[in-house]
Amino acid sequence: MSNHINKDEHISFFLDEVYESSGEADFDFSKFANDTDNNLDSVHKEFMNHYNELVIPKIVYYQTNYTVKELMLICEYYGISKEIKLNKFNKEDLITFLVNYEIDPCNEEIVNKRQNMWFYINELKNDKFMKKFILW
């Protein structure tokens, strides 16, 4: 049995499309545009619900409970403080940048770790014995 290819052999084929119309309009552009608008409205509403449920409470929490110095510590933990210093953000811009970083699913692991660490630090600071060992 020989495995060789004859260079003189060619492959050819023919394609014949048959189109059958049902007699009705094949595509309703106005319905498509309407459906698309409705879908966009739905996506926008979903985004705004997500924004209102997640982002606004975080912004208010950071504005109320953190100083710029404390927010910068969080940013240093994430490794994003250089960008904030370069852009000379005020507190409001800093919080917006930080919240957008934290809600990004790509950053979920480091955000959870940071939140755990801050929780542990607060627990140690609130313990009568351990607080003397914490330099925070």
Which one-letter amino acid corresponds to residue 75?
C
93, part of any domain: yes
Instruction: Provide the residue range defining the domain that includes 95.
Output: 38-103
Which one-letter amino acid corresponds to residue 71?
L
Q: What is the pLDDT of residue 1?
A: 52
pTM above 0.75, yes or no: no
Radius of gyration of the chain (CA): 30
Each residue's pLDDT tens digit, 29-81: 777 777 776 777 677 677 677 777 788 899 999 999 999 999 999 999 999 99
46, part of any domain: yes
Residues 99 and 123 grouped into a single domain:
no
Q: What are phi and psi of 118, to 5 degrees?
A: -65, -35
Report how many domains make up the chain: 2
9, part of any domain: no
Residues 83 and 99 grouped into a single domain:
yes
